Chain A
Amino acid sequence: MIVRQISVFLENRQGTLAKALSVLHDNGVNLRAMTVADTADFGIMRIVVNEPEKVEKILQAADYAVKITPVLALKVEDAPGELMNKVQELADGGISVEYVYAFATADPDGARVVFKVDKLEQAYKILIGKNIVNSDDSNENYW
């Protein structure tokens, strides 16, 4: 499915991540997924949450630079080759993956993998065509 991921600019120094997380905590936000990309000077925290628009406003009010980016979130069965097959389909369809991160859920079905791709709509169509995702599987808050 397509989910709206929130990206947050963080300076790369001690305590900035803890502070951002405490802002989310203070507002009762539960993280579904999270990753931090970093350079020597700064990082980008990417999170998946329920009600992204609401969380975006919370972070903006706390003086963070925030951006909502639509990304693909796929269920991946707990078996060898499951992720490889999906990435191969995207590659065959001419889709470039800009970044990817995986995380576990309480769901017994397996893990989730988030893909930021260059041509999102096209990638989504390819995955539906290959029965990798269901078109009705569109409730962001499902997981």
Chain B
Amino acid sequence: MGGEKVYWNEPIETMGRAQMEELQTTRLRETVKRVYQQVPFYRSKMQAQGLLPEDIVRLEDIQKLPFIIKQDMRDNYPYGLFAVPLSEIVRIHASSGTTGKPTVVGYTKRDLGIWAEVMARAYSYSGATKKSCIQIAYGYGLFTGGLGAHYGAELLGASVIPISTGNTARQIMLMKDFGTTVLACTPSYALFIAETIVEMGMDLSEFSLKAGIFGAEPWSDNMRREIETRLGIKALDIYGLSEIIGPGVACDCLCQNGLHISEDHFYPEIINPVTGEVMPEGEKGELVITTITKEGMPLVRYRTHDLTMLNRDVCDCGRTLIRMGKILGRSDDMLIIRGVNVFPSQVESVLLSIGNTSPHYQLIVEREDNLDILTVMVEVNEEMFSDEVRGLEELEHKIKAALSSVLQISAKVRLVNPKSLERSEGKAKRVIDNRKI
């Protein structure tokens, strides 16, 4: 990086453990006090446990506080968990929800600044600077990916190409002509781009690409190696979730030995997903995050359902920020398909809305040409069965249209014989994930 600034925010990124914990303690206490005063949901939950904000003195006291889960966000739809009046909210994002109601998040001006800050850090972990040219191929819109990646890249001072998703041939043309050095998109799309470059008969030497910031879906180290070989770049994993802020909660550095969590804003814990108890450092469990600086919608002990582990050792890159491992799986039945959260219960609600009874169904997820394909197998019952081909095809199309409107991604629909779908101990097996990630 020859003379370039290595760190984006050196005091924070290299802060000593004791000092970081002091900062976190102060911010946690402020957050707990604020949500107790401003958000009836937190106040009543704390009161139910006989807790007052003053009971949270040390960092470990966080374990006394109850968890918050995604259902709580749905129950308080749309603005019930906001800790500021709507007049202070300057941006609203939303993610798909199981019953058609999305999960809503609101940001104050200061929240957006924090988001851009943590995203700028993430880019800088890849070696990106203001001289970089960053192509953002995440979707722009209610989804946090596009705009989150965008403002972080602008804060870094890089030249930003807000191309959003789709039109791969054009992505590749601009990537070459504009001299893109950093690509931000989902890892599966990165691989798809790599393949399309080959199909278009282009050579990697025509490109200036150096690194990729890939996230919004789980991927493996094998996939990382494949992307790195095919695109000739460093592929970094970025982690985030809209409930917490969006992309930028944590990101790989060039050491690729764990994702640095911006723990000055997001305090992580690992719990046993069954008992809810905090696990000893280094053990695998469910990631729980508390936002300790957010104003619009602070979340205290949000259960991400993502399984990982934490490591507080100083990284070879010199950063002291705590690292989380790659996501190892989920502690619930949520699937991430093409960056979109999909719950089997969403499929069930669609099938229920079409017939009077919900037939047995199964979700099959596969990865073809590096793109996730969702097929919904539906057992034909007497009520749905039509003597005419046209009738059954209409039913297929109706299910397909309803699924794509609820799930926000397209799915194939396959009608199958009654009782032909696998059941284990009488309980239907809802999901078969054949993706090799």
Within B394-416, which residues are at the interface with A (CB < 8 Å)? 396, 414-416
A44 to B381, CA, bound (A): 14
Say which residue of B382, B388, B393 sits within 8 Å of A65 (CB atoms): B382
A39 touches B393 (CB 8 A): yes
Within B81-103, which residues are at the interface with A (CB < 8 Å)? none
Q: Is B292's CB within 8 Å of the partner chain A? A: no
A9 to B391, CA, bound (A): 12
Q: Is B387's CB within 8 Å of the partner chain A? A: yes
B387 touches A63 (CB 8 A): no
Q: Is A98's CB within 8 Å of the partner chain B? A: yes
0/1 string, A1-42, CB within 8 A of B gives 1: 000010101110000100000000000000000000111011
Q: Is B77's CB within 8 Å of the partner chain A? A: no
**In the assembled complex, which residues on chain A have CB atoms less than 8 Å from the CB atom of B386?**
67
A98 touches B417 (CB 8 A): no
A116 to B388, CA, bound (A): 10
Q: Is B73's CB within 8 Å of the partner chain A? A: no
A10 touches B417 (CB 8 A): yes
Q: How large is the interface on A (under 10, 10 to 19, 20 to 34, 35 or more residues)?
A: 20 to 34
A46 to B387, CA, bound (A): 8
Q: Is B418's CB within 8 Å of the partner chain A? A: yes
Q: Is A138's CB within 8 Å of the partner chain B? A: no
**In the assembled complex, which residues on chain A have CB atoms less than 8 Å from the CB atom of B396?**
41
**In the assembled complex, which residues on chain A have CB atoms less than 8 Å from the CB atom of B419?**
63
Q: Given that A7-B387, A39-B393, A98-B388 are known contacts, is A67 also in contact with B417, CB under 8 Å in the complex?
A: no
Closest to B392 in A: A42
**In the assembled complex, which residues on chain A have CB atoms less than 8 Å from the CB atom of B382?**
60, 65-67
**In the assembled complex, which residues on chain B have CB atoms less than 8 Å from the CB atom of A11?**
415-417, 420
Indicate the member of A7, A37, A41, A66 with the most B CB atoms within 10 Å: A41
**In the assembled complex, which residues on chain B have CB atoms less than 8 Å from the CB atom of A122?**
none
Closest to B396 in A: A41
Q: Given that A11-B416, A11-B417, A39-B393 are known contacts, is A65 also in contact with B387, CB under 8 Å in the complex?
A: no
A16-B417, A38-B389 known, 6 other contacts, Cβ within 8 Å: A11-B417, A42-B380, A63-B419, A65-B385, A67-B382, A98-B388
Residue contacts A-B, CB under 8 angstroms, 16 given: A7-B387, A9-B392, A9-B415, A9-B417, A9-B418, A10-B417, A11-B417, A11-B420, A37-B389, A38-B389, A41-B396, A41-B414, A42-B392, A44-B387, A44-B389, A64-B418
List 10 tightest A-B contacts by C-beta distance, closest first. A7-B387, A65-B385, A63-B419, A65-B380, A69-B387, A9-B380, A63-B418, A37-B389, A65-B418, A67-B387
